[in-house]
A and B are shown apart, each in its own frame.
Chain A
């Protein structure tokens, strides 16, 4: 009773074979080569020219390859895949360029006192080592904190209305939140100017700046919080009500604690949305050069204002200062973003 089994060799027919890989690589090499020749021969020049000619050549070579190996339909398929890759690359390129530029140019403006001095005794045209960003960082921190105090409750209440109450106004409110996220930031600034500054406070301060930021922040918080609350399984709500809890107890003791890390993500994304917001800040805060801990009174400096002022002055030192300010702002946005990502990924596990 001996029966010999032939174990089939594991094969992966969907993977490209060595021959196909070799063709792929040679096509890429050929595209690089033709990009260099074409750029050298014609009057196109610059990195972008290399980039576009490379992709055009790659697309055409792939089209030809597809037609030769199979048929016209396959050729078009190969061609379109290169075009989609081109689109993706165009999306990624500016991000890479922005990150590189800011880190590269902002680096030159860094010095020991950057985070501990303010600009009250220095002008932006002074040598880089004098003055610093302390007033701007304190100002940005206060602006964000005050804006958060107002917009977090409103944003979460809006999200709760959309997910827990689901009343008559659900559809219009969802639209209004969407519309609010499209309100131009300068309009938010003008609104606070006309409604608060001209009628009540009669002066610029950090507080009114925060109010304008609140308008921009509420939709971000509301929409993220809505998404998060929608992820909470309905079983939790039903269990709460079945145990005899009122809706209030169910939401406060069950739903919100379950969604806590997601709500923190919503908060962080809201902060990231407004931390670099410039237009309303320019209209409303006055932009002081000294550290000011009182948001209700006096001009309040902030990172966007500092960057704006430094760039607009236009001397070599002030532009370097502007890039350094952008670097600090970008690091702030990046760390907020990574924090939100981290919390978001922990939530889904």
Chain B
């Protein structure tokens, strides 16, 4: 009391200025973090710009035939100068899509079944172990899948391909003209399927785990069996997420290089016979041709890289849209 009296009326401090304006340190912090956050945009943009810049000459020369024709020739005269070139990517684009679709066709049913098992059947302790194994599988490098596929999977996959050909050979895509069953798109598709199974499984499991518990319990209360609950509640609810996850898997399968290069017999022709040992995809073509390519052909490879990049970006975009929209539907 006494102290206050002594100070007199002048002791009232002037009111502090209250503002929502962030301080300098915060402005700097936000600027730096935003810049860092936008780096993904910058990198993706730069990829498109540089590949487009390097491949522009080829794209301008070939035009639309770069993706519609399938001839890839570089004629060189005896002095090593290039006399004539034709670059058409269609065969490899067909191969890319074919292998990726085989992979998705095999991987999705298996992954969804596994995700259902993990979400609705497995006891908690087993579930933890199995989820760890699937995460580990996702961390395996592709070179591991490639050489495992070549040395271990190939013999048995070849045998199964022969069986399919014998009993379903009347269907055009299962025809095999000269009987070469090794290194076929089918086997590459199986290897790719094994590679994308972890992604599809973990995304499906995630959407299954978000199924509203009250709907599940309501179904049980109405006397549904476990399978009824899965079919009428969980699957409709998770459909969007599963489709999105499969699209992500498709994107991965399209861009895979090393595993396809090791397993597949890369032949530059359009091949719809999935069991016949010839095919390829864009990524493995780039790796194959890169070693002996002259600067001019490398430009064509850059253009091929651009096409692949845009293709995977497109697939990812669709997947993202589907995943974002899912989650609210279901009976």
Residue A84 contacts which of B121, B225, B258 (CB distance < 8 angstroms)?
A: B121
User: A334 touching B136 by the CB < 8 A rule?
Assistant: yes
Residue B320 lies at the interface, judged by CB distance under 8 Å to chain A: yes
Residue B148 lies at the interface, judged by CB distance under 8 Å to chain A: yes
User: A86 touching B302 by the CB < 8 A rule?
Assistant: no
User: B283 touching A178 by the CB < 8 A rule?
Assistant: no
The stretch from B50-58, B62-70, B177-185, B269-277 touching chain A is B50-58
User: A88 touching B22 by the CB < 8 A rule?
Assistant: no
Residue A46 lies at the interface, judged by CB distance under 8 Å to chain B: yes
18 contacts between A and B (CB under 8 A): A45-B159, A81-B121, A84-B113, A84-B120, A87-B112, A88-B122, A94-B197, A95-B140, A157-B39, A173-B38, A179-B40, A185-B255, A185-B257, A193-B302, A222-B40, A247-B29, A249-B25, A326-B144
Task: Give the A-B pair count, Cβ closer than 8 A.
Answer: 269
Q: Which residues of A contact B153 (CB under 8 A)?
A: 94
Among the interface residues A90, A154, A337, which one has the most CB atoms of the partner chain B within 10 A?
A: A90
Given contacts A90-B110, A278-B142, A322-B147, contact A251 B29 (CB under 8 A): yes
Residue A7 lies at the interface, judged by CB distance under 8 Å to chain B: no
Q: Interface residues, chain A, CB within 8 Å of chain B? A: 43-48, 73-74, 76-77, 79-81, 83-88, 90-92, 94-95, 97-98, 101-102, 153-154, 156-158, 160-162, 164-165, 167, 169, 172-173, 175-180, 182-188, 190-191, 193-195, 198, 215, 218-219, 222, 246-249, 251, 269, 272-273, 275-279, 282-283, 304, 307-308, 311, 322, 326, 329-330, 333-334, 336-337, 341
**Interface residues in B32-65 (C-beta closer than 8 Å to A):** 32-41, 43-44, 46-47, 50-51, 53-54
Q: Which residues of B contact A333 (CB under 8 A)?
A: 139-141
Interface of chain B: mostly helix, strand, loop or mixed: helix
A33-B112 Cα distance, complex, nearest whole Å: 29
User: A194 touching B54 by the CB < 8 A rule?
Assistant: yes
A211-B278 Cα distance, complex, nearest whole Å: 34
User: B22 touching A246 by the CB < 8 A rule?
Assistant: yes
Q: Which residues of A contact B139 (CB under 8 A)?
A: 269, 272-273, 333, 336-337
User: A158 touching B40 by the CB < 8 A rule?
Assistant: yes
Q: Interface readout for B226-258 with A: 1 if CB under 8 Å, 0 if not?
A: 111010000000000000000010011011111
A174-B225 Cα distance, complex, nearest whole Å: 39
Q: Which residues of B contact A251 (CB under 8 A)?
A: 29
Nearest 9 pairs between A and B by C-beta?
A276-B141, A87-B113, A157-B36, A184-B255, A161-B37, A248-B29, A77-B225, A84-B117, A190-B305
Q: Which residues of A contact B197 (CB under 8 A)?
A: 91, 94
User: B34 touching A167 by the CB < 8 A rule?
Assistant: yes
Given contacts A81-B227, A157-B37, A219-B40, contact A279 B136 (CB under 8 A): no
Given contacts A175-B320, A194-B50, contact A101 B151 (CB under 8 A): yes
Given contacts A165-B33, A269-B139, contact A190 B156 (CB under 8 A): no
Q: Which residues of B contact A176 (CB under 8 A)?
A: 40-41, 44
Given contacts A77-B226, A90-B114, A173-B37, contact A179 B316 (CB under 8 A): yes
Q: Known pairs A76-B227, A90-B114, A187-B309; list 20 more (Cβ under 8 Å).
A: A91-B197, A92-B133, A97-B152, A98-B144, A160-B36, A179-B40, A179-B317, A184-B283, A184-B309, A190-B302, A195-B50, A215-B47, A218-B43, A246-B25, A276-B140, A276-B141, A279-B257, A329-B141, A330-B144, A333-B139
In the complex, how many angstroms separate the beta carbon of B48 from the nearest chain A beta carbon? 9
Q: Interface readout for B309-324 with A: 1 if CB under 8 Å, 0 if not?
A: 1001101110010000
A167-B29 Cα distance, complex, nearest whole Å: 13
Residue B169 lies at the interface, judged by CB distance under 8 Å to chain A: no
Q: Interface readout for B267-293 with A: 1 if CB under 8 Å, 0 if not?
A: 000000000000000010011001000
User: A276 touching B144 by the CB < 8 A rule?
Assistant: yes
User: A97 touching B30 by the CB < 8 A rule?
Assistant: no
User: B41 touching A283 by the CB < 8 A rule?
Assistant: no
Of chain B, the residue at the smallest CB distance from A46 is: B156
Residue B132 lies at the interface, judged by CB distance under 8 Å to chain A: yes
Of chain A, the residue at the smallest CB distance from B261 is: A279
Q: Which residues of B contact A102 (CB under 8 A)?
A: 144, 148
Q: Which residues of B contact A195 (CB under 8 A)?
A: 46, 50
**Interface residues in B106-149 (C-beta closer than 8 Å to A):** 109-114, 116-118, 120-122, 130, 132-137, 139-145, 147-148
User: B147 touching A326 by the CB < 8 A rule?
Assistant: yes
User: B151 touching A182 by the CB < 8 A rule?
Assistant: no
